[in-house]
Structure 1
Amino acid sequence: MPEAVILAPQWIAPVAPDPRVLTGHAVLVEDGRIAELAPFDGLRERHPDVPLTLLPGQLLVPGFVNLHTHAAMSLLRGVADDLPLHDWLRKRIWPLEGKLVSRAFVRDGALLAAHEMLMGGTTCFNDMYFFPEEAVAAARQLGMRSMQGIIVIEFPSAYASDAGDYLRKGLELRDRHRDDPMVGFCLAPHAPYTVSDETLKRVAVLARELGLPIHTHVHETAAEIEESQSRHGKRPLQRLDALGLLGPELIAVHAVHLDDNDLRLLATAGASVAHCPHSNLKLASGIAPVARMIESGIRVGIGTDGSASNNRLDLLQEARTAALLAKGSSGQADAWPAARVLRALTLDAAAALGLDDRIGSIEAGKRADLVAVDLSAPELSPVFDPVSQLVYAAGREHVQHVWIDGRHVVRKRQLTDDVASEAVSELVGRTALWHNRTGEILSG
């Protein structure tokens, strides 16, 4: 286990139980958990022999939780830009994946993504992709926490032959990691338009039996809803509800096009939404009605989606855009205040994944997933409200330190583990090879 340490930043934003920013406080980390959050003087007096890390000018916050991504798609960053979702997916992404996806592709892509996320303060990510065992390995190599999607889709891939095979392989992987505290699992049917009624019913039963979240794309585009009404006589959320998938375990990814009934369904079910604003904007899918979701009592977390539809796995940038879109689309400047946005990045996303008893806030007893952001840079001065400065002005380049499960994994913007650092360095060369191979496929 990591050694005990006292972290003494200029500000602490614990998120819960009280969202107010603390000054003159410090955090005692012991055995990978937050042992105390208390005034600095008293804490130091009680623990005079514990090493002290001073963090002047820095804001300590819970680690960010990326509620939706496809990590391995970092190797497809930029290959399908400026296309609408239908063409992006069917004419470019799926054909490329059919020729590229393998264990090696996912291993390299997931490691590339994990490093990018980690350096931006993401300590846990919720993934959905093929060969999830390789994403597990990438996250573990960098010391990150992850939730892996047991992906389900009807068509074959290099990973599995049919829906039953996807489920079998994913559940076997879950069994192998049952005792790993750094790895969790979601059932991840890709989307209502790629998964049959029979398979969705099976997913609903498994979710109840195993106590797993359900992570799926839904209501991303207007065309998806029209297609569902034509094929099934129901909007996608109505169909999921009829098949037993709409409950507190559901994480509805995107949820861009919601009418009043959709909002009622999500709110009544206690479901969560993974809001991915940059992906929705870049694919011209629309702007999710986040202000109305919040008014309806729907829990909203924030995700980046994958690099192929976003190009940047940067939760701080995502949070700023999310906050501004909520204000601009609703006409309400207070639609999503900075403190609530920070909660969406941390505790609300953790709660959607069933992890809020372990991470998401700086409270005694929780695991020490923490991020220190330097607000002393000239471009961030002066600081009237540290949380507002974090959401509206800071960027991932201001993340200085990251602790996960009490381990100091990023120190002054450098990986602390030499093996992990070497692995990332070696990855740069392999990324060039994947680039060349992808270019050959596109040109051929």
Structure 2
Amino acid sequence: MTSTAAPLDLLLLPTWLVPVEPAGVVLKEHGLGIRDGCIAFIGPRAAAMKLAANEVRELPGMLLSPGLINAHGHAAMSLFRGLADDLPLMTWLEKHIWPAEAKWVDEAFVRDGTNLAIAEQLKGGITCFSDMYFYPKVASDCVHSSGMRAQIAMPILDFPIPGASSADEALRQGIELFGDLKHHPRIKITFGPHAPYTVCDANLEKIRVIAEELDAAIHMHVHETAFEVQQAVEQTGERPLARLARLGLLGPRFQAVHMTQISEDDLALLVESNTSVIHCPESNLKLASGFCPVERLWQAGVNVAIGTDGAASNNDLDLLGETRTAAMLAKAVAGSATALDAHRALRMATLNGARAMGLESQIGSLEVGKAADMVAFDLSGLAQQPIYDPVSQLIYATGRDCVKHLWVAGKQLLDDRQLTRMDEQQLTATAIAWGQRISGHSE
């Protein structure tokens, strides 16, 4: 299971180890060893204790799992958290969010908002996130400094956006950033056409060609609401997903975010193209956008990952809570109590997210040779007792306040609930200052 040539950098001894792959497995009295940022050993505790290790950490009462993967969000929008609540999607966007972005979003906003989001996500057990927002180079700098892992999508719309005066300029920036970071160990650049109703065929075709040349992913809001689909059909006679298929965008590199409206034809397109769906249940619920039929997709063989969406529409970046909501909602939508059981829900929040991003060979499960991206959840509290199935307790009875430790590529970024590289007090003060500035100048 491991080479004994060199000592392990770190040996972890949790009460439960949940590798996610193979599916449904819970290992008790096992150890996990890390060397050079990767998992070098998984085996019984007795065998683990015979190995040389520079550091050994007992994790009593804790469940060690792959780090959670937040497959969709808009990190810097954390600074708009609660700005325009309880409104329909298009009213929320057109009357509140887009005007606020036009007024406030600059490089400083994106830096401060992204750092706030990174800290919140690390404290919630998230080791990798997907971000789709303006000034992606600034966001990637934040990720680099934090030690976290991320997919950064270059936003592309038919009209000017903060940081890019046109779709062509955004594409140029995306290509440049992709080239600059293609060898970065923790950052992956993708292309993010905003939505079918904000990007024309000509620009989508440019994105497809560039993504194919670079072997880059495409991350896009698709079928978020019934209105979006209905409007497209009325105007063009074609459903948005069918249009994307006609233009050649669907495929294993395509990440379709939301997908609350899925016909039999849509499902066939998703299955045939091996497109991933990113499910954002709490944002969809809060904006009354609809319900993604997760169990139907899963049973058809579609890869379904999970995302929080931005804090302006959720209002948190709590992927563990999101996963609990997803599991509950899937049962109600499918009309079946067996839909999306706890083990599959955890898989959706880990390995399925990695697969959607094309990172499944590196992260998403605890396997020898993969990056040591891991989180330790403390299940020793009153509210988790008694424990029959620790994964069920994690999904149905545990909040993100139980996240105790977190590692990315073997580096500990959260130690006993404390951030090791970021100043939480400073981040809080900066966010409060932004809130005062924005609220003081908004009508």
Q: TM-score range by the shorter chain?
A: over 0.9
Shift, 1:150, TM fit: 1.6
Letter in 1 for 2:107: R
239, 243, 246: which one aligns with 1:242: 246
1:205 matched residue in structure 2: 209
414, 421, 442: which one aligns with 2:418: 414
- Root-mean-square deviation (CA, aligned residues, Å) is 1.2
> What are structure 1's unaligned runs of at least 5 residues?
none
Shift, 1:40, TM fit: 1.2
Number of paired residues?
Answer: 437
For 1:216, what is the secondary structure of its paired residue? Answer: strand
For 2:71, what is the secondary structure of its paired residue? Answer: strand
400, 405, 425: which one aligns with 1:401: 405
- 2:125–2:403 Cα contact (<8 Å) kept: yes
Shift, 1:37, TM fit: 0.6
TM-score, length-scaled by structure 1: 0.96
9, 15, 23: which one aligns with 1:10: 15
179, 190, 195: which one aligns with 1:186: 190
1:279 matched residue in structure 2: 283
41, 46, 52: which one aligns with 2:46: 41
Q: Distance in 1 between matches of 2:156 and 2:218?
A: 11
Aligned pairs for 1:71-220 (under 5 A) are 71-220=75-224
2:429 matched residue in structure 1: 429
Q: Does 1:21 align with 2:15?
A: no
Q: Deviations over 1:60-90 (max 9, x none)?
A: 0000100000000000000110000010001
Identity of aligned residues (%): 48
- 2:177–2:189 Cα contact (<8 Å) kept: no
Q: Deviations over 1:352-383 (max 9, x none)?
A: 10000000000000000000000000011111
For 1:273, what is the secondary structure of its paired residue? Answer: strand
1:441 matched residue in structure 2: 441
Shift, 1:28, TM fit: 0.5
1:371 matched residue in structure 2: 375
Aligned pairs for 1:354-365 (under 5 A) are 354-365=358-369
Q: Distance in 2 between matches of 1:383 and 1:122?
A: 24
Q: Distance in 2 between matches of 1:293 and 1:344?
A: 12
251, 255, 259: which one aligns with 1:255: 259
Q: Distance in 2 between matches of 1:186 and 1:298?
A: 21
For 2:316, what is the secondary structure of its paired residue? Answer: coil
Structure 1 stretch displaced more, 134-143 or 190-199: 134-143
- 1:150–1:171 Cα contact (<8 Å) kept: no
For 1:138, what is the secondary structure of its paired residue? Answer: helix
67, 83, 100: which one aligns with 1:63: 67
- 1:237–1:262 Cα contact (<8 Å) kept: yes
Shift, 1:49, TM fit: 4.3
300, 306, 309: which one aligns with 1:305: 309
Change (3 A) 1:3 1:22: closer
Q: Distance in 2 between matches of 1:68 and 1:18?
A: 24
For 1:309, what is the secondary structure of its paired residue? Answer: coil
> What are structure 2's unaligned runs of at least 5 residues?
1-6
For 2:242, what is the secondary structure of its paired residue? Answer: helix
Letter in 1 for 2:409: D
Q: Distance in 2 between matches of 1:369 and 1:427?
A: 24
2:273 matched residue in structure 1: 269
Q: Distance in 1 between matches of 2:372 and 2:52?
A: 20
Letter in 2 for 1:22: L
Q: Deviations over 1:72-114 (max 9, x none)?
A: 0000000110000010001100010000110000000000011
- 1:96–1:441 Cα contact (<8 Å) kept: no
Letter in 1 for 2:429: G
Q: Does 1:229 align with 2:233?
A: yes
The runs of at least 4 aligned residues of structure 1 exceeding 3 Å deviation read none
Q: Distance in 2 between matches of 1:49 and 1:340?
A: 33
Q: Deviations over 1:104-139 (max 9, x none)?
A: 000000000110001000000011000011211222
Change (3 A) 1:113 1:296: same
2:3 matched residue in structure 1: none
Q: Distance in 1 between matches of 2:369 and 2:353?
A: 19
- 2:412–2:420 Cα contact (<8 Å) kept: yes
Q: Distance in 1 between matches of 2:179 and 2:117?
A: 25
